[in-house]
Every structure is written in C-alpha cells, then in structure tokens.
A and B are shown apart, each in its own frame.
Chain A
C-alpha cells in the first residue's frame, strides 16, 4: 500500500511547483496515473522511487521513501521513461543478470533463460544492448526490473516506444502478477482503463480520481 500525505515537490531556482500538496492512499492492485505532459505524473513516480526530494510524507509498506530507500530498493521496481538509460550493462543477458545477483549462483542461469524467454529476448541475449531498437530496449528495461520480483512496480510510460504487438505483450506482463501492485503512468488511455483505480493529475494536483477519470480528462482536453 502507498500513502501520500501533503506531498509537495518544488525545484530551484524559481521554486516551480511540480507536485502540489498531494494526498492519497493507493491501495488498489493496479492504479493508472493519467494527465497531460508536465502535469506532475512522472514527478509522482520519481517521488515514489526515491529519486526526488519532497516535503510531506510518502510511504510504501509503511516505510518512508525518503529515509527508507535502501529497504525499499528490492521491493519497489521502476521503469523510467528513458529506457536506454535504465540499461546499465553492455549486453542484454548481462543486464538481466545484474538484477539476479541476489540469487544463488546455481539458480542464476536457469532464471536468466526463463526471463529472456518470457520477454521474447532470447535471440538478443548476447547482443550489445546499445544495438537494440528503442522498443527492444524498453522490453529489456522491463525484463530487468521484473526479474527482481518487486512487490510494487512503478512504470513510467512503459509502452511508448513499442509497436502494437509488443505493446500488447508488455501490457499483459504488467498486469500478469496479482501479488504485485502496479502504478502505471501512461498516455495510453486503453491501457489505463484496465486499471482498477485511475487518477487524473492536472497542474501538479489530483484533479479527479475514479473510474470516470478518463472521461473527465478527455472532456478537459476536448
């Protein structure tokens, strides 16, 4: 469960407000965050991932994100919008292996092969990660994060670069686990509609929440 209380994010030099006094309890297994560019969606994702300083309180599993980042590292996975930067190691297999370091050595190879197969990346295993297309990099980023089996997955625009086939596959993978809480930041309203809870963020605040949030958002943008 995620609890936000009066979360505010400002940035220097002009103290621009990126998130303005946001309070909410995110307890649905799947929550979509929608809104226009620059509305504060990715800022919220970064707060939950411990990437941005904030005032107020943001707790995941009762652990304050700002002070408990190390405790949360293995439990919270995030796919950042720039998938290319999320890929750390030079080859596809090595990048996924990096996420498997916590496993006993004798289990790593079998798990690696399973992850590669699950994400349709087996044929690219030894390829330099940088030679992949944007969509393939996005799938690799997702595979590397899901390999750690996080309790909470924060996915910032996970299907942006994908063609229809892989957007469908990734969509299925995001929703595949019932034990994992999904926070999905997306412009893909069809994908957002699959979530049990939908939050529309506008001008750094929660503008509307609930099953009709998409309709209200569409009315707003005309």
Chain B
C-alpha cells in the first residue's frame, strides 16, 4: 500500500509547497551538469539526508529505496551494456537522486497543498483555455492512482497465493492491467457523479 504523506512537522514539511517544487525542479535539472564519475554516486546522499532532516523513520526510507530497486538494477544493467561504467554509474545516480527527491517531496507535502499550488501555477494559462482546477485534480488523481495500482499488485499476488499458484514473476501484469482499467472506468463514473468531470 503506497502511503504518500508522512506527518512529522519538520521544516521540510512546513516549507511552502511552491518552493519545494521549485527546488525539486532546479535540483533535478542541475544533476544533468554532473560530470561522469564514480563519485557522482555521492549525490544520492542529498535526498537521503533530506529524509533524516524530515524526521521520516528509517524503515520508510528503506521501503522507498527498495521500491525502486528493480528499476535501478534494470537501468544499471542496460547502461553497462551500452556505456562505460563511469557513465552508467552517473546516469543511475542521477535518476536515483531524482526519484528519491520526488518521493521525499510527496512524503513531506500534503496532496491538498500540492493541488492548491498546481492550481495557482496554472492560473496564468487560463486565457489559453487551461482549466487550473482540472489540471490540479488530474495531479491528485494521478497520485491516488499510484496507490491504487500498488494495492492491485498486492491483491493479485494474494489471490495467487490463496490458490496455491506459483506463477512467473511477471504474471501479475495482465490481471493488474485489467483491474486498473476497470478501476479507471469506475473512477470516471465517480468523477461524473461528484460533478468533477
């Protein structure tokens, strides 16, 4: 089950959402100026230090890191095939830092504050036909859907265990896709009945 916000009341929690978002964007862009080197792995310490400063328990930090382990291993292997080890290390270090920083952002930011910030950021584009409320709602829905999909993965694995079935590690993909599509359909109904379509 993906839980996003972790209430801890640290200065990172209290920092204005717009500022956090700007730091995340600027910091992520800055990482691409990082020279290719084994030392680049050290930048991963920045978001990890952020977790400590945000007073987020170690177990949550470890969970967040482990959650992306498969992706990072896959990325490292493919990078090692096509690039020098130093380049591969830098690419993986950059992505690990960005993903961890984004997770830290969601751990320290309430969705309602993010929605309000996105709405404000989109307001200047209103004359161009952009509906700020709908963009903000779409962001909230996307974050909710992530949690829901994680729940479906657990549900499908439980169903496989309950039947004593041992399937290939990727066998959950199709059932999760079907459940996600059904959920998307129900969610569309929910948006209509709540007057948000």
Interface residues of A (CB under 8 A from B): 46, 49-51, 69-70, 73-74, 76-78, 80, 82, 84-91, 94, 97-99, 126, 128-131, 144-145, 148
Contact = CB atoms under 8 A, between A and B. Distances in A.
The 8 lowest CB-CB distance pairs between A and B, nearest first, are A73-B195, A85-B186, A78-B193, A86-B190, A128-B3, A130-B147, A82-B186, A90-B111
Nearest to B144: A90
A216 to B, nearest CB: 31
Given A80-B186, A128-B147, A130-B147, A90 B192 contact: no
B194 A88 contact: yes
The majority secondary structure among interface residues of chain B is helix
A126 to B, nearest CB: 6
Contacts, number: 89
Contact of B190 (A85, A91, A130, A131): A85
Contacts of A73: 194-195
B111 A130 contact: no
Given A88-B187, A130-B151, A80 B1 contact: no
B187 A50 contact: no
A51 B151 CA distance: 26
A37 to B, nearest CB: 18
A51 B186 CA distance: 10
Nearest to B187: A85
B196 interface: yes
Given A80-B186, A128-B4, A130-B148, A94 B194 contact: no
B112 A97 contact: yes
B183 interface: yes
B146 to A, nearest CB: 9
23 contacts: A50-B192, A51-B193, A84-B148, A85-B183, A85-B189, A86-B186, A86-B193, A86-B194, A88-B137, A88-B140, A88-B141, A88-B191, A88-B194, A89-B111, A89-B112, A90-B5, A90-B147, A97-B112, A98-B194, A99-B194, A130-B1, A130-B148, A145-B194
Most buried by A among B1, B112, B183, B189: B189
Interface residues on B, range: 20 to 34
Contact of B7 (A70, A78, A126): A126
Interface of B: 1-5, 7, 110-112, 137, 140-141, 143-144, 147-148, 151, 183, 186-187, 189-196
A84 B149 CA distance: 12
Given A76-B193, A86-B190, 6 more contacts: A49-B189, A84-B183, A90-B144, A128-B3, A130-B148, A145-B194
A73 B111 CA distance: 24
Contacts of B4: 90, 128
Given A130-B147, A131-B1, A88 B190 contact: yes
Nearest to B3: A128
Contacts of B196: 88, 98
A90 B140 contact: yes
Contact of B111 (A77, A91, A145): A91
A104 to B, nearest CB: 15
Residue of B1, B4, B137, B190 with most chain A CB atoms under a 10 A cut-off:
B190
Contacts of A80: 186, 189-190, 193
Contacts of A86: 186, 190, 193-194
A58 to B, nearest CB: 15
Contacts of B183: 84-85
B189 A51 contact: yes
Most B CB contacts (10 A, CB to CB) among A69, A74, A86, A148 go to A86
A128 B193 contact: no
Contacts of A98: 194, 196
